[in-house]
């Protein structure tokens, strides 16, 4: 099935800043040479933002009906910044890994023709004993390349901080290797010149708050934790206070 290109195709093809080309599934993709989100936001053209990841991104259960971090981001950009025509999509899936997204990239990312794609993995990847952090790094690199191929701007995120002692009481896989995987995310971000939102480092500087409100269990952010994730993104992308 061939999906028609978005309505601004003629403008994009005529602009010196854009190149249109056929992508997976016959979708006409837009390739933008602007690689910095802050600069892209200076343009008032509507944008599509896609958040990908595992249960943290999906935001299920542990928010108890409150907004997840992608929903708080959507409120900020569509109301505070008054970018009313922007679209924010959450395609996070509980229990998934970077390898899962590699295999399902068209379904969870490409078909939305995004301008910006947020990638947050590592919490489940570090549990798979059959794969190394090097494998994880290769998968992240491939995802970054895929995002850029469809003309979008990739943004890597480290996971939220977790309660390693509390994890011992949970009947789930050990996340003892998570710091190694977090370092791999940082390495890929540096090597590939990708914007990085380092939640893990920020939460590590706020251990008291993390253990007394930011987490709903030793692994998953609470509603307040999701607020902190959203605020970190907004601040790092210099979006705070704009209107």
Give per-residue pLDDT as tens, 196-217: 999 999 999 999 999 899 999 9
Q: What is the pLDDT of residues 111-125, one digit of tens each?
A: 999 999 999 999 999
Q: Please, are residues 38 and 155 in contact by the beta-carbon 8 Å criterion?
A: no
Please state the domain extents for the chain: 1-33, 34-236
Q: Please give the pLDDT value at position 20.
A: 42
CA dihedral over 42, 53, 85, 149, signed as positive or negative: positive
- CA 12 vs. chain centroid, Å, equals 25
Pairing of strands 153-158, 116-120: parallel
Strand stretches in 44-160, DSSP E: 48-53, 87-90, 116-120, 153-158
Q: Bridge partners of 158? A: 198
> Would the pLDDT of 8 be above 50?
no
The token duo for 109 is 């990312």
pLDDT tens digits for range 76-105: 999 999 999 999 999 999 999 999 999 999
The per-residue pLDDT for range 57-68, each reduced to its tens digit, is 999 889 989 999
Domain 34-236: give its CATH superfamily. Answer: SGNH hydrolase (3.40.50.1110)
User: Any bridge partners for residue 117, and if so which?
Assistant: 50, 154
More confident residue, 242 or 218: 218
pLDDT at residue 167 in the model: 83
pLDDT score, position 23: 46
Burial class of 153 by CB neighbour count within 10 A (0 to 12, 13 to 18, 19+): buried
């Amino acid at each position: 099935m061939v999906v028609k290109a978005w309505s601004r195709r003629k403008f994009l093809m005529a602009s010196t800043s854009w190149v249109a080309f056929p992508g997976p599934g016959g979708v006409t993709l837009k390739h933008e040479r602007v690689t910095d989100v802050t600069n892209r936001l200076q343009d008032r053209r509507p944008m599509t933002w896609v958040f990908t990841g595992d249960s943290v991104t999906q935001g299920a259960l542990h928010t108890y009906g409150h907004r997840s971090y992608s929903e708080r981001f959507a409120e900020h950009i569509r109301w505070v910044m008054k970018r009313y025509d922007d679209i924010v999509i959450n395609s996070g899936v509980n229990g998934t890994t970077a390898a899962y997204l590699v295999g399902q990239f068209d379904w969870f990312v490409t078909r939305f023709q995004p301008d910006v794609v947020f990638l947050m993995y590592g919490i489940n990847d570090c549990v798979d004993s059959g794969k190394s952090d090097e494998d994880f790094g290769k998968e992240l690199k491939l995802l970054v390349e895929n995002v850029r191929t469809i003309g979008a701007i990739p943004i890597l995120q480290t996971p939220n901080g977790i309660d390693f002692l509390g994890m011992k009481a949970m009947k789930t896989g050990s996340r003892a290797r998570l710091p190694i995987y977090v370092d791999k995310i940082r390495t890929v971000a540096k090597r590939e010149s990708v914007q990085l939102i380092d939640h893990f480092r920020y939460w590590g500087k706020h251990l008291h708050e993390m253990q007394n409100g930011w987490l709903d269990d030793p692994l998953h952010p609470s509603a307040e934790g999701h607020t902190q994730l959203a605020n970190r993104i907004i601040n790092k992308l210099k979006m705070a206070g704009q209107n």
